[in-house]
Each structure stands twice: as structure tokens, then as C-alpha cells.
Amino acid sequence: MRILFGTSKLIVDNMDADMGYDRVKKVISVNIVYFDLGEGHDYIYHGYTQFKGVNKGDVLKLNGQQQTLYLTDAISEIYPEYYIIKVDQFDDIATTPIQEWIYFLKNEEIKDEFAAQGLVQAKAELDIMKLTETERKEYERYIDMWRYEESLTVSNYKAGKAEQQIETARKCLAKGNVC
């Protein structure tokens, strides 16, 4: 129920008072769980909304006007989708980018051969999060000092460039030229 609550709250919290339902953005809910959630042998589960006829078994579809409004012909494309990743059930064999991410989430490690997009940045963030409070404060002071020095360098460069342009314009005007 927590997954449903989170998705519903996200939708409601991002609606303005004057916003129609047709402007609600589709939500894709990715849930990384480290506990036993239901029974199943897979480690990635996908769910979506589909309305199936109780008596005739047909799947409810959008009509032409609705397809134009929502830019899709499938009802499942406008309702939330859910992914549940059961990290503890992953077998540690990573041959695809998503498996590399799951390996990282499970083991807090990136193998040299991994190439999934964003994984190196995620590891850097995790490394910072693993620092002790003292180490993290020291790291943050270092970053603040680096940014300050970088700002001074950029500001001084721009100021110097502006002074150079002013001096060039003065010389040009002193010669009686239109600059």
C-alpha cells in the first residue's frame, strides 16, 4: 500500500488548483526493496493498469477523441506504471545496464567492466554518504573553498577582460575613431 500511497501523493501534490486531469503527467514508480515483498522468483516486476471486461474479456481502449487528447491509444499509457526491484533476489550476474545498477545497489560496488550510464556518479555520491560526519564536513569545506577560489578566478578574469575592452575603446576614441 505504501507504493500506491506514494504514487497517488506525487500526483496530487503536483496538481495546481486550476489544472485539469488531462494535464496530469504519467508516473513511473520504481521501488527498490530489500525485503521480501510477496512471493515470486524474479527480481524485477512490472505492473500497469489495464481494464478487462468481466463478462466478455475485452480490454478497454481509448476512443478516437481520447487518443488525440492523450496522444496514445492505450489506457495503460496514461495511468501509473510500477516497477519493483527485489535487490536481495538478484543473483549478482550483471550483463545488462539495469543488472549493473542492481548489482551496485545490492553490493555497493562497481566492477571495472561495468558501463551503465550514471553508475560512476552514483558511486561517487555513495562514497560521500559513507564518510563519517567529520570526514563529510571536511569534504564539504574543501568543496566550498574550491568553489570560492574558482569564483574568484572567473570573476577576476571577467573583470580583467572588461578593463581590457574599456582601455581598447579609450584608445580608439582618443584617436578620434568611432568604436
- The model's pTM: 0.64
Q: Residue for cell digits 566492477? A: 111
List the domain range (segments joined by +) for residue 15: 2-89
| Three cell numbers written together for 72 | 496514445
For residues 58-86, give the mean pLDDT.
92
Question: What confidence tier does 100 reach under pLDDT thresholds 50, 70, 90?
Answer: very high
Question: What confidence tier does 108 reach under pLDDT thresholds 50, 70, 90?
Answer: confident
Report yes or no on 120 lying in a domain: no
Beta bridge partners of 83: 30, 46
Report yes or no on 113 lying in a domain: no
Report yes or no on 144 lying in a domain: no
| Three cell numbers written together for 61 | 481502449
Structural domain tally of the chain?
A: 1
Helix (H) or strand (E) holding 11, with range, is helix 2-13
Residue 48 · residue 81 · CB < 8 Å: yes
Q: Distance between CA 31 and CA 102 in Å, rounded?
A: 12
Q: Distance between CA 39 and CA 29 in Å, rounded?
A: 20
